[in-house]
Chain A
């Protein structure tokens, strides 16, 4: 039994009291009453008799299902999103997030206006080069897209859509920035990933297959009739669709069928080049086609993509991957099977699959089963602190991007075509943890980035005012940032950091409520509680 399976079995036992208390605290941002019971230590002893191997994750997270949904379907709860989900309830909140066009997003819109090259089309980039406004092979649009990704993850109201954009950008990875896609990577983000993130997978796959960025990144633009280049054909099967179920013959036939899908060197736009298409019958994972004419090659390739998108193995891979992202590193098999059916019944439509996932009992039971990746940790840090973007400029977005990069997970920056790993073990390194601990302090204290909009008085902004003692200060800050209080030993350790005990009185001129308060915030963000998603 894994740690996370143990979590599931214990979860119901820790329920009620913690949920009620945490909910009240997080919704208002004010301290909970001192008599609220949060910690598993207060659970009846009989629970532990039943399960002598105590659940190590128990009590680390608030048991409130609304907060569970927020932690998974967004880049982390923010004070505003907590208030919103309480107002709307889970179903209405999810409906709204699954229809991102319905969500006004003025803050993100304004931030994107500061990064005006991040959404340019290929033609627009080339026009700017022609007009002397950009250099040939200029990376600025790709950098702006990268910085925009960090800003959107933190401040967009369309959180689930942003999470899904990240998910598909990894699934159909085209590394950014990357020199060969200098003119097409921003267009790929807008017209392929964002356009189809909550559409159908078949639509997404076909859009990617006819996009210059993908055709360049996986070399299909260079594939020729006389010597087909197999790179895209292989990754299309292995990574984009069915997984490791192909034969070498499938790869060779796919590579043949995909010849002709290329890029016009003059315009940088997608082009089907019939003269370079290999004709002749193909057989690829149950798909057969006469592929008799060069002019029919594009239609034949699209038919293959439809076949692959609706292949049961693709359905299982996508369903499994979504469960790994949103439910558990080792997803419940029953849930995966259910989602495969939803996927196929809806001809690869993504929204029904997500709705089924987030409303499943398996999802509800999975609290504690996911650990935040570095990018999620970074975004969640700024979000839970409630810090706002600076009123102008882009330096802060750049800083946040470099912080993610230092931690090993800059958005869209994974080099190989398989996308960033999505399981805890892939990120459980001391080096990565160190970067996170360091950015928790620098963000909380405002040293880097220095111009995030923080409360005028940090202590008041976080917990409403100065409590009477160190124990209360630690409890209130933990409740504000984690939704739960820490155990007595942990609380004592944090008090000891200040050379005090939880019972020590807190004076108005103590550094703990002044310049060293961010240390407390950072140490709570460093805690195992915050590391979980």
Chain B
């Protein structure tokens, strides 16, 4: 059993320092573009970036419990050897492909939480994702938890919440609060539309009496086209020498950073990273192997995002990774991992007290598993709840996560 908790005596004083820093940053580089749109009076919390690792992320490969001998026994050909781990403490170490994130880990802006997951095992991708994003088991709620979070702030502008990199709406944003799904900012252009041929304006008129569901999407589009025009005109060069990988995730995070820097109204953004469903040939921790290469791409994109935001920008951003379930502890006959339960989350941000693994480790020995899987000792909603409380200013967590109390891991400092 390894409990990792700590406390921060200086929370209040640190908070005021952070605020001053954030304001200074805004006053400098961001103020001009910020004025282009009305400031959102209801929200001054962190921009919450939700990075969904689709397909069942193997947290045990990413944040390796090297101190638990059962880990090596269960995975004879795919375990990450102790000698290859990075950023390690005495018990956990990170997969070497996460090296691009090591500076953020060692400087304390990236943390992990282990043995997290949903309150009950659900090993179906599709229903687990649905439940993860609805986040209200045992209730009849049909909205996504991010939509409820937005609603608690009275968010009323589609640009408050962006699902970036997708042509389809995000389930976690399903609900009455407005949101946008955008494949990219540069792609926000309507062919042929100009002052002489006002296609967008004409379409707005055509949809005026349309069925509400159709009218809403059309209205969001015509509004977004205006905003897109301004953003494109402003152009974008990542800061700090950040180089985003040319992947869907890299492009999506680049556009999230672009919005964060240009538009202070953004409250939350969701991005997806797929292809974590590795039933076969997950591979050793070496280039060319599936898990290694997937983690490397993930780390490169997140690291570029953090570099681009810079220290000041990151002060008002928290990025969380989630996945619908973890993988089985024991590898299968195909050198892969079937669907499991407990998992690891990453948390990156200026307010994170990083460089360590949080949570309560249940152990991987046979008697400590839950039907062969890593047991869950921390509800993922409690982890997010702590961030929503401390970083986003959510007062009443019950509206977002009914029946869940925020964790007291001390994962982040209060804003």
Q: Which residues of A contact B (CB under 8 A)?
A: 3, 56-57, 60, 219, 222-231, 234, 238-239, 244, 248, 251, 368, 371, 374, 406-408, 415-416, 418, 421, 424-435, 437-438, 441-442, 486-487, 489-490, 493-494, 496-497, 516, 519, 522-523, 526-528, 531-532
Assess whether A429 is in contact with B202, with CB atoms less than 8 Å apart.
no
Assess whether B210 is in contact with A56, with CB atoms less than 8 Å apart.
yes
B183 at the interface (CB under 8 A from A): yes
A-B contact pairs, 30 of them (CB 8 A): A56-B209, A219-B334, A222-B336, A224-B333, A228-B332, A228-B333, A229-B279, A229-B334, A234-B123, A238-B127, A244-B127, A371-B213, A416-B54, A431-B180, A432-B181, A434-B188, A434-B190, A435-B183, A438-B190, A442-B191, A489-B209, A490-B209, A493-B202, A493-B205, A497-B197, A497-B202, A516-B197, A519-B192, A528-B218, A531-B214
7 smallest CB-CB distances across A and B, nearest first, come from A227-B333, A224-B333, A408-B167, A493-B205, A222-B334, A528-B210, A430-B221
Q: Which residue, of A227, A251, A528, has the highest number of chain B Cβ atoms within 10 A? A: A528
Which residues from chain B contact A527 at a C-beta distance below 8 Å?
206-207
B338 at the interface (CB under 8 A from A): yes
Q: Whole-angstrom distance between the alpha carbons of A374 and B167 in the complex?
A: 10
Q: Whole-angstrom distance between the alpha carbons of A86 and B159 in the complex?
A: 48
Using a CB-CB cutoff of 8 Å, which residues 141-188 of chain B contact chain A? 158, 163, 166-169, 174, 180-183, 187-188
Assess whether A430 is in contact with B211, with CB atoms less than 8 Å apart.
no
Which residues from chain B contact A430 at a C-beta distance below 8 Å?
158, 180-182, 217, 220-221, 224
Q: Whole-angstrom distance between the alpha carbons of A113 and B190 in the complex?
A: 36
Using a CB-CB cutoff of 8 Å, which residues 222-263 of chain B contact chain A? 224-225
Known: A56-B212, A229-B280. A433 touches B218 (CB 8 A): yes
B215 at the interface (CB under 8 A from A): yes
Q: Which residues of B contact A (CB under 8 A)?
A: 54-55, 123-127, 158, 163, 166-169, 174, 180-183, 187-188, 190-192, 197-199, 202-203, 205-218, 220-221, 224-225, 274-275, 277, 279-280, 331-334, 336, 338-339, 371
Which residues from chain A contact B192 at a C-beta distance below 8 Å?
441, 519, 522
Known: A229-B332, A433-B221. A528 touches B207 (CB 8 A): yes
Which residue of chain A has the shortest Cβ distance to B198 in the bound complex?
A: A497
Task: Please give 8 more A-B residue pairs, beta carbons under 8 A apart, in addition to A3-B211, A229-B336.
Answer: A222-B280, A222-B333, A251-B123, A408-B168, A431-B180, A433-B221, A441-B199, A487-B209
Known: A426-B168, A429-B167, A493-B202. A416 touches B125 (CB 8 A): yes
Which residues from chain B contact A60 at a C-beta distance below 8 Å?
210-211
Q: Whole-angstrom distance between the alpha carbons of A60 and B206 in the complex?
A: 12
Assess whether B191 is in contact with A227, with CB atoms less than 8 Å apart.
no
Which residue of chain A has the shortest Cβ distance to B182 in the bound complex?
A: A431
Which residue of chain B has the shortest Cβ distance to A417 in the bound complex?
A: B125
Which residues from chain A contact B198 at a C-beta distance below 8 Å?
497
Q: Which of B190, B191, B206, B280 contacts A490 (CB 8 A)?
A: B206
Q: Whole-angstrom distance between the alpha carbons of A266 and B180 in the complex?
A: 49
Which residues from chain B contact A526 at a C-beta distance below 8 Å?
203, 206
A38 vs chain B, min Cβ distance (A): 15
Q: Whole-angstrom distance between the alpha carbons of A523 and B210 in the complex?
A: 14
Q: Whole-angstrom distance between the alpha carbons of A222 and B336 in the complex?
A: 10
Which residues from chain B contact A3 at a C-beta distance below 8 Å?
211-213
Assess whether B197 is in contact with A431, with CB atoms less than 8 Å apart.
no
Which residues from chain B contact A493 at a C-beta distance below 8 Å?
202, 205-206
Assess whether B334 is in contact with A223, with CB atoms less than 8 Å apart.
yes
Q: Whole-angstrom distance between the alpha carbons of A239 and B274 in the complex?
A: 19
Which residue of chain A has the shortest Cβ distance to B335 in the bound complex?
A: A222
Which residue of chain B has the shortest Cβ distance to A222 in the bound complex?
A: B334
Which residue of chain B has the shortest Cβ distance to A439 in the bound complex?
A: B191
Q: Whole-angstrom distance between the alpha carbons of A223 and B119 in the complex?
A: 30
Q: Which of B188, B203, B214, B331 contacts A523 (CB 8 A)?
A: B203
Which residues from chain B contact A487 at a C-beta distance below 8 Å?
209
Q: Whole-angstrom distance between the alpha carbons of A227 and B190 in the complex?
A: 53
Q: Which of A223, A407, A496 contacts B333 (CB 8 A)?
A: A223
Which residues from chain A contact B213 at a C-beta distance below 8 Å?
3, 371, 424-425, 428
Which residues from chain B contact A239 at a C-beta distance below 8 Å?
126
Assess whether B166 is in contact with A408, with CB atoms less than 8 Å apart.
yes
Assess whether B333 is in contact with A489, with CB atoms less than 8 Å apart.
no
Q: Whole-angstrom distance between the alpha carbons of A223 and B333 in the complex?
A: 6
Which residues from chain B contact A489 at a C-beta distance below 8 Å?
205, 208-209
A320 vs chain B, min Cβ distance (A): 15
Assess whether A429 is in contact with B169, with CB atoms less than 8 Å apart.
yes
Which residues from chain B contact A528 at a C-beta distance below 8 Å?
206-207, 210-211, 214-215, 218
Assess whether A432 is in contact with B167, with CB atoms less than 8 Å apart.
yes
Q: Whole-angstrom distance between the alpha carbons of A56 and B127 in the complex?
A: 33
Which residues from chain B contact A421 at a C-beta distance below 8 Å?
168
Assess whether B124 is in contact with A238, with CB atoms less than 8 Å apart.
yes
Which residues from chain A contact B167 at a C-beta distance below 8 Å?
374, 406-408, 429, 431-432, 435
Which residues from chain B contact A428 at a C-beta distance below 8 Å?
169, 213-214, 216-217
Which residues from chain A contact B169 at a C-beta distance below 8 Å?
425-429
Which residue of chain A has the shortest Cβ distance to B217 in the bound complex?
A: A428
A348 vs chain B, min Cβ distance (A): 23
Q: Whole-angstrom distance between the alpha carbons of A33 and B326 in the complex?
A: 65
Which residues from chain A contact B336 at a C-beta distance below 8 Å?
219, 222, 229
Q: Whole-angstrom distance between the alpha carbons of A219 and B199 in the complex?
A: 49
Which residue of chain B has the shortest Cβ distance to A428 in the bound complex?
A: B217
Q: Whole-angstrom distance between the alpha carbons of A494 and B208 in the complex?
A: 13
Q: Whole-angstrom distance between the alpha carbons of A157 and B212 in the complex?
A: 35
Which residues from chain A contact B205 at a C-beta distance below 8 Å?
489-490, 493, 496
Which residues from chain A contact B168 at a C-beta distance below 8 Å?
408, 421, 426-427, 429, 432
B347 vs chain A, min Cβ distance (A): 26
Assess whether A219 is in contact with B280, with CB atoms less than 8 Å apart.
yes
Assess whether B197 is in contact with A523, with CB atoms less than 8 Å apart.
no
Q: Whole-angstrom distance between the alpha carbons of A391 and B220 in the complex?
A: 40
B131 vs chain A, min Cβ distance (A): 11
